[in-house]
Amino acid sequence: MPVSGSSSVQAARKVLADRLREICKDAGLDGKRLAEACGWHPSKVSRISSAKTSPSADDIRAWCHACGADDQAADLIASLRAVEGMWVEWRRMERAGLRQAQESRLPLYERTRRFRSYSPGLVPGLIQTYGYTEDVLRAVQRRRVEIDDVADAVAARMERQRVLYEGHRRFAFLIEESVLRNAPGEPETQLEQLEHLLTIALLPNVSLGVVRTRLGRSRMPVEGFWIFDTAQVNVELISGYLTITQPREVAMYADTFAELADSAVYGVKARALIRTAMDSLG
């Protein structure tokens, strides 16, 4: 499993390692005897039990069998899959194409009631137009995905946008001012997208803030992230997709969002920035 520096991932790995170590202890085995029973070198048991190495599903089955705890293997393997899902490389997430990656996130959006999104480079997916989304996902497909299912992926993202209008959900979007002027496609597509932002900003359950490009900022741009209620943060990095659930880390992102939000402009001032960007497109 790819290793992330996130303490959320490390903490989850340690919980799994602790459970395996407890099973070994309950069986009255030490590391050396467990290694012999599994046909491993003793150092492998040490690495797994200290969370330095993540076990495979077969490793967990062998461990549980040696300890007479076959009935616990399925639950531990499910925990392993959860840990693996906290850090996913793009090549793994998108190996079956982009549509599946888009659809897999829908349940999270459906159960969330408060969304906070910060984006330094692109308009957030929930408030993208069809054309803008098509340009974004086409660029991703050309860069790293062999399968061309962009049309289906765009449709899946458009379907996800219904959460904006269903239920009692609140949305706070923060974008850097540069997002208004940088675009993956043609001027016409960007103009349509900016017009859409003006419309979205009028929704009663939506807050749209623009963080001005200026000198003397108290908080410089950071990686883009989403906060789902107070339970989870997702971060899109160059190499993969990170899921954060540790309360301390979630709070750090919430604090960062609050700092950026304090320096943003809203309402009339935000709309003025959007219209200025539209004027620059002619």
CATH code assigned at 228: 3.30.870.10
Q: Which of 44, 79, 50 is nearest to 62 (CA)?
A: 44
Please give the share of the chain, as a percent, with pLDDT higher than 90.
Answer: 80
Q: What is the pLDDT of residue 1?
A: 42
| Whether the predicted pLDDT of 5 surpasses 80 | no
> Which residue range(s) make up the domain with 49?
7-85
Q: How many whole angstroms separate alpha carbon 248 and alpha carbon 240?
A: 22
Instruction: Specify whether the CB–CB gap between 48 and 17 falls below 8 A.
Output: yes
Q: What is the pLDDT of residue 8?
A: 66
| Whether the predicted pLDDT of 3 surpasses 50 | no
Q: Indicate whether 34 and 166 sit together in one domain.
A: no
Give the pairing of strands 264-265 and 87-89: unpaired
Instruction: Specify whether the CB–CB gap between 264 and 210 falls below 8 A.
Output: yes
pLDDT band at 65 (very low <50, low <70, confident <90, very high): very high
Q: Indicate whether 171 and 221 sit together in one domain.
A: yes
Q: Indicate whether 120 and 188 sit together in one domain.
A: yes
Mean of the pLDDT values across residues 231-252?
Answer: 89
Q: What is the pLDDT of residues 246-281, one digit of tens each?
A: 788 899 999 999 999 999 999 999 999 999 999 999
* Domain end point (choices 58, 85, 112): 85
Would residue 138 count as lying in a domain?
A: yes
Residues near 164 by beta carbon (within 8 Å), at least 6 away in sequence: 126, 127, 171, 200, 203, 205, 206
Q: Indicate whether 191 and 233 sit together in one domain.
A: yes
Q: What is the pLDDT of residue 145?
A: 95
pLDDT band at 2 (very low <50, low <70, confident <90, very high): very low
